[in-house]
Amino acid sequence: MKEFEKNIRKVEPYVPGEQPQQKVIKLNTNENPYPPAPGVKRMLKEMEADRMRLYPDPTAGELVKTLADYYMVDEDQVFVGVGSDDVLSMCFLTFFNSEKPVLFPDITYSFYKVWAGLYRIPYELCRLDGDFRIVKEDYRRDNGGIIFPNPNAPTGLYMELKDVEDIIDHNRDVIVIVDEAYIDFAGKSALELIPKYDNLIVVQTFSKARSMAGMRIGYAISNSRLIRYLNDAKYSFNSYTMNQAALMCGPEAVRDKAYFEEGIRKIIRTREWAKKELQRLGFSCLDSKANFIFAAHPKHDAKEIFEALKSEGIYVRYWGSERIEQYMRITVGTKEEMTVLLEFLEKYLTAAEESAKS
């Protein structure tokens, strides 16, 4: 090792899902299969190229105001960033500075470990139970902060709001972050708890239900004091985090509530239908409340199915990690995309069973 390498910060990075450039059925990164609201397309057409020579508004004023109006909170309760990953990373940097460990589930969004490693934050994993559910009682021990997704990822399981509140209520002396990337497909949001708990931060994203993964917009809602701390950290890091296009298109995605809600209904309908079809084929599916399905087949190896699907141009997500090595995560695509997936799986399983008999 070179002498200078001793002082280099080394981190095991997050591994994103594959982004194939050729035309495939892409069900591996939980993108929305439908386009953004019509107002977003209109704004992109009307956008003047000359605006790109100017720095964007560092306060993201219009976007912040639109979100504040939508959620009926004050503008100083909203923080925006370049996708929820940027927002969450800023939360780790700002709020998790105790020598005590931050707590999060052992099977969850794998970026949490990366940020903890990057910022040298101690952490402990709370093991999900045998049904892959968060055990709220495990979060009642001494800690330096808590973060968990609801619904959780990659399981898709939703925790009822009363149980979310139980975790917050037992940890009033630390910051609790509820990562709600998939909440629009699930149930009640923890946003309604913000007036009651001054240690709560709720993080959401435009990448899933609002069909804007490529635009990179995320946001946090909390009380004004915690949001001020986030902004102080942001302005010490990079004042101009949001680009002009995102600042102009973001509000349009929020304003069209009818389009947003209809898109969610379509995905939920397809999700529930696809779960039943996968079960008909012998798969075991967790009761996902997200825009994806977590599935395993008791008789067939998940990696082999994953590779077979990929060879047919159908991409799903497979980790092979401890406890979930036989599970695949399947994004809910259009009804047509899911039909192609299911038809291939039926042929594959039939052929595999016939081969086993011979």
- The CATH number of the domain holding residue 330 is 3.90.1150.10
pLDDT band of 186, cuts 50, 70, 90: very high
What does the pLDDT average to over 125-151?
98
- Taking a C-beta distance cutoff of 8 angstroms, is the pair 142, 99 a contact? no
244 and 326, same domain (yes or no):
no
pLDDT of 17 = 81
* % of the chain at pLDDT higher than 90: 88
150 and 15, same domain (yes or no):
no
> What is the domain count for the chain?
2
Listed residues 255, 270, 287: the one ending a domain = 255
72 and 220, same domain (yes or no):
yes
83 and 103, same domain (yes or no):
yes
pLDDT band of 18, cuts 50, 70, 90: confident
Q: Is residue 281 assigned to a domain?
A: yes
267 and 291, same domain (yes or no):
yes
166 and 63, same domain (yes or no):
yes
Q: Is residue 136 assigned to a domain?
A: yes
In whole angstroms, what is the distance from residue 74 CA to residue 87 CA?
A: 19
Listed residues 255, 286, 303: the one ending a domain = 255
pLDDT tens for 197-250 read 999 999 999 999 999 999 999 999 999 999 999 999 999 988 888 999 999 999
- Taking a C-beta distance cutoff of 8 angstroms, is the pair 60, 66 a contact? no
Q: Is residue 358 assigned to a domain?
A: no
pLDDT band of 7, cuts 50, 70, 90: confident
Mean pLDDT of the chain: 95
Listed residues 207, 237, 255: the one ending a domain = 255
Q: Which domain holds residue 211?
A: 38-255
50 vs 1, 53, 145, 245, CA distance in Å? 49, 6, 44, 12
Q: Is residue 313 assigned to a domain?
A: yes
**Tokens matching residue 54:** 């100017």
For position 220, which CATH number holds? 3.40.640.10
Q: Is residue 357 assigned to a domain?
A: no
9 and 64, same domain (yes or no):
no
pLDDT band of 104, cuts 50, 70, 90: very high
pLDDT tens for 39-71 read 999 999 999 989 899 999 999 999 999 999 999
Taking the model in full, what pTM does it have? Answer: 0.95
pLDDT of 305 = 98
